[in-house]
Amino acid sequence: MLSNYKNVSLIPFEATWTSPANIAFVKYWGKKGHQIPANPSLSMTLKECVTKTRTIFLPSDKLEVRLKFKGQNEEIFSKKIYDFLVHLQSELPWLKQLSLNIETENTFPHGAGIASSASGMSAFALTLADYLHHLCPDAQDDFFFKRASYLSRLASGSACRSIYGGFTTWGSSHSPDSSDLFANQIKVHDTFLSLQDTILVVSGKEKNVSSRAGHSLMGEHLYAQSRYKQASFHFEKCLSAVQDGDFETVGSILEAEALALHAMMLTSPAPYTLLKPDTLAAIQAIWDFRQETGLPLYFTLDAGPNLHLIYPESHKSKIFTFIAHELSPLGEMLIHDTVGLGPQKC
Ligand code: PMV
């Protein structure tokens, strides 16, 4: 993927990209080796929750990364990018001679508990892919995005799925286009292109166990193999259902996946939970609402306490009224999102 770029002459360059967050319907949880997923995953790319990143690349005598988030120096994110670039030096040795000035900001509020690593790392990876393209142009656009997805995966696994709009898969499966190395955009039934995602932010606080630690606990988890089997089964089922427009099947997989992800944390060798009492109260209220009304409102969760409330646009008005009246008091804020078209160069 990067072999054409091993020997290049460095020149100054600047690029700005926006890239969205994504929400996994079938979850990636557990790795085989370096950033290779233990099972295939499937996600929806968001529209409103995006990161905008501007990177200035300058030739230098050593690797340096300076990162500002909303105008303020940000050491943690800067270190993550530095470590990612050090790791990439085996494929791109000239990264040792680059100074990077990065300015980044999110459209979603800081402390909203929305994983910003997918949008943040993919936005940065797109500026890097743009630099590679500038150093050594490659006519095929498709390769540009594959390469950006490859780079995003190395920076933060699920970020590789943010490179494409609509719905995306990542990880080897029965599907011939699937790969462990980069994500792939999939065709879905038209009704899925207007799916709604209202995020109920139960807590915007920093979580106390990182996703990196969670992935690594799967290495010694007694249920790991059963979980990977379940995820692969859900993946095949979900892939057919999004293509057939079968929202009820997708909804039941969404919830089963969210609960399985959090069950893995609760039953891991070092048990923990990221769920809050109000997360469970909201789940019960959603189940009661569905039983009483028959309306198709389902939830999913990332590695955190916040619920993504997923429903078809055709039922938006009744479902949103329920969310605003019954669920919103259980959280700190609501963020309304829908399916996005993917990253954009600014
Ligand atoms: O990409 P990571 O390492 O932050 O892991 C993401 C894990 C989940 O968000 C819980 C699931 C997923 O597939 O996005």
Q: If you count them, how many residues does the chain have?
A: 346
Please check whether residue 204 is in contact with residue 111, taking contact to mean a CB–CB distance below 8 angstroms. Answer: yes
pLDDT digits over 244-286, tens only? 999 999 999 999 999 999 999 999 999 999 999 999 999 999 9
How many C-beta atoms lie closer than 10 Å to residue 13's C-beta? Answer: 17
Provide the percentage of residues in the chain whose pLDDT is more than 70. Answer: 98
What separation in Å is there between the alpha carbon of 118 and the centre of ligand 1? 8
Taking alpha carbons only, the member of 322, 298, 318 closest to residue 308 is 298
pLDDT, average across residues 32-44? 96
Residue 189 reports pLDDT greater than 70 = yes
Instruction: Tell me the average pLDDT across 122-143.
Output: 89
DSSP 4: G
DSSP 191-225: GGGG-EEEEEES--SPPSS-HHHHHHHGGG-TTHH
CA 180 – CA 31 distance, rounded (Å): 10
Task: For ligand 1, atom 9, name the residue with the nearest CA.
Answer: 302
- Can you tell me the distance from the alpha carbon of 171 to that of 152, in angstroms, rounded to the nearest whole number? 14
Whether pLDDT at 212 is above 80? yes
pTM above threshold 0.95? yes
Q: Dihedral through CA 225, CA 229, CA 230, CA 231, nearest 10?
A: 100
- Checking if the pLDDT of 224 tops 90, the result is yes
Dist. CA 115 → ligand 1 center (Å): 9
How large is the average pLDDT for residues 68-73? 95
CA proximity to 119, closest of 99, 104, 134: 104
pLDDT of residue 16: 98
Compute CA 127 distance to the chain's CA centroid, rounded to the nearest angstrom: 18
CA distance 290 to 276: 22
**What is the token pair recorded at 249?**
């099947």
Mode of pairing for the β-strands spanning 167-170 and 41-59: antiparallel
Which of 35, 84, 121, 302 has the most ligand 1 atoms within 8 A of CB, as the residue to mutate? 302
With a Cβ cut-off of 6 Å, ligand 1 is lined by 24, 27-29, 41, 115, 117, 156-158, 211, 215, 261, 302-303
Q: Could you tell me the distance, in angstroms and rounded to a whole number, from the CA of residue 137 to the centre of ligand 1?
A: 32
Amino acid 104: pLDDT = 97
pLDDT digits 0-9 by tens, 94-113: 999 999 999 999 998 776 76
- pLDDT exceeds 90 at position 321: yes
- Structure token digits, residue 75: 């050491």
In this predicted structure, the answer to whether residue 82 has a pLDDT above a threshold of 80 is yes
**Predicted pLDDT of residue 109:** 78
pLDDT of 74 strictly over 80: yes
CA of 65 to the centre of ligand 1 (A): 25
* Cβ atoms 305, 332 nearer than 8 A: no
- pLDDT-based confidence at residue 116 (cuts at 50, 70, 90): confident
With pLDDT > 90 as the criterion, what percentage of the chain qualifies? Answer: 91
- Whether 139 shows a pLDDT value over 70: the answer reads no
CA of 157 to the centre of ligand 1 (A): 7
Amino acid, res. 86: V
Candidate from 19, 23, 28, 149 with most ligand 1 atoms within 8 A of CB, to mutate:
28
* Mean pLDDT in residue range 15-37: 97
Examine the pLDDT at 175 and tell me if it is beyond 90. no
**Confidence (pLDDT) at 78:** 96
Angle between helices 141-155 and 75-88 (to 10 degrees): 120
Distance CA(312)–CA(74), nearest Å, equals 38
Mean pLDDT confidence for 19-35:
96
Mean pLDDT on 43-70: 97
pLDDT of residue 138: 72
